Amino acid sequence: MFRKLYFLLFHRMTDAIEALEHGDAAQAKAILIRAQQDAETLYIEETEESASAE
């Protein structure tokens, strides 16, 4: 699970950095917010699946 979270956040941070390099702070912020939401969703889904398997 943590590998998936790491890669999701790493790639989204890279996208946000690129947006900042192009002077688009609003886009960078949107990317980071979406990354946070997606990571939270993934974490919840993965922990629920783990709990169901037990």
| Res 14: pLDDT | 98
User: What's the whole-model pTM score?
Assistant: 0.84
| Res 48: pLDDT | 83
| Res 5: pLDDT | 95
| Res 3: pLDDT | 93
| Res 54: pLDDT | 65
Which regions of the chain are under pLDDT 50? none
> What Å distances lie between residue 10 and 27, 29, 42, 50, CA to CA?
16, 15, 14, 24
